């Protein structure tokens, strides 16, 4: 297989998106064709007459791919806009969930405060009730008074 045939088969693999030596994403140009053919970058030169037709084929394939790629890529801004809208909706959902959580926290803090006041009032009432002994004999023991 001659070098030109090797370059042509490499170009065909790049056109059909079945490269062996190059990882996608890639652009079709002289360097990628050379690397795909197993040669060094820059091995396809314009100054060589044997590569004139190959270079024209590479340029035509690059234009065809760019045209096809442009038709596929045009919806990308829409997708990006859609992705942005999705993220915006997620952010709004998270914000509303945060707002609900904060409302619950405030409600629980208020309830906790109310219950503390209630406990304080009940302990005051209990201390008032406990300050008046029910059994007179038990309260006078140890105070020096006779029974």
User: Could you tell me if residue 10 is inside a domain?
Assistant: yes
Please check whether residues 81 and 69 belong to one and the same domain. no
22 and 66 belong to one structural domain? yes
Same domain, yes or no: 66 and 19: yes
Q: Which two tokens stand for residue 85?
A: 């809208």
Q: Number of structural domains, the chain?
A: 2
| Residue range 75-101, pLDDT digits in tens | 555 666 788 888 999 999 999 999 999
Structural domain includes residue 145: no
| 111: confidence class by pLDDT, cuts 50, 70, 90 | very high
Segment holding 81, helix H or strand E:
helix 76-131
64 and 7 within one domain:
yes
Q: Say if residue 67 is in the same domain as residue 84.
A: no
- Give 37-51 pLDDT, tens digit per residue: 888 888 888 888 888
**Do residues 84 and 64 share a domain?**
no
Distances (CA, A) of 27 to 5, 46, 58, 114, 129: 20, 18, 11, 71, 92
**Residue 50 in domain:** yes
Which stretches of 16-75 are DSSP H helices? Answer: 30-36, 52-73
Same domain, 39 and 16: yes
Residues 43 and 85 in one domain: no
- Which domain, by its residues, includes 106? 76-125
CB 53 within 8 Å of CB 8: no
pLDDT of residue 1: 66
| Cα–Cα distance, 37 to 34 (Å, whole number) | 5
Whether 115 maps to a domain, the answer reads yes
For the cut 80, the answer to whether the pLDDT of residue 113 exceeds it is yes
Same domain, 65 and 13: yes
pLDDT band at 71 (very low <50, low <70, confident <90, very high): low
In a shared domain, residues 97 and 54: no
Does residue 102 share a domain with residue 66?
no
In-domain check, residue 22 = yes
Q: What integer pLDDT is reported at residue 120 of this predicted model? A: 92
């Amino acid at each position: 297989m001659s070098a030109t045939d090797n370059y042509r088969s490499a170009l065909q693999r790049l056109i059909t998106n079945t490269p062996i030596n190059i990882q996608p994403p890639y652009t079709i140009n002289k360097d990628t064709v050379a690397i795909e053919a197993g040669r060094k970058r820059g091995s396809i030169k314009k100054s060589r007459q044997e590569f004139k037709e190959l270079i024209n084929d590479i340029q035509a394939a690059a234009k065809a791919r760019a045209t096809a790629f442009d038709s596929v890529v045009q919806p990308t801004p829409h997708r990006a806009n859609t992705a942005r809208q999705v993220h915006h909706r997620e952010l709004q959902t998270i914000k509303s969930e945060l707002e609900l959580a904060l409302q619950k926290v405030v409600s629980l803090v208020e309830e906790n405060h109310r219950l503390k006041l209630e406990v304080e009032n009940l302990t005051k009432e209990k201390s008032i009730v406990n300050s008046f002994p029910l059994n007179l004999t038990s309260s006078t023991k140890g105070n020096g008074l006779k029974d």
